[in-house]
Amino acid sequence: MIKICAKHGKTFHFERKDQSLRCGKCASRWVIDSRVRKKKKLVEMFGGRCKICGYKKYVGALDFHHLNSSKKEFSLSVKGLSYAWDTILKEA
């Protein structure tokens, strides 16, 4: 449904589970920002830098690796960061 968003003007809105409408562009931005916040928080919890070389300039360049890959349930990549915080912490 096309509606007016205070930030983006005339744009597509989708219906949420609670029947409210949400601007698609605002929703997309919220998801991106949420994932970035979660990754920054995780990186800080693990020392704020690469454990091997000490790199710390850009959080987006850092990856998480499991010490025991057989216990890995999901990757802490972009998709993995969409899980609830307590689920992310268990996987980290």
The pLDDT mean for the chain works out to 85
Reported confidence tier of residue 8, pLDDT bands at 50, 70, 90: very high
* 5 φ, ψ (degrees, to nearest 5): -100, 135
Of residues 21 and 89, more confidently modeled: 21
Q: Which residues pair with 23 in a beta bridge?
A: 13
Say what the pLDDT of residue 88 is: 79
pLDDT of 3 > 90? The answer is yes
Beta strand ranges found along 16-74 (DSSP E): 21-23
| Partners of 64 in the β-ladder | none
Judge whether residue 20 has pLDDT over 80.
Answer: yes
Residue type for 49, please?
Answer: R
pLDDT at 82: 74
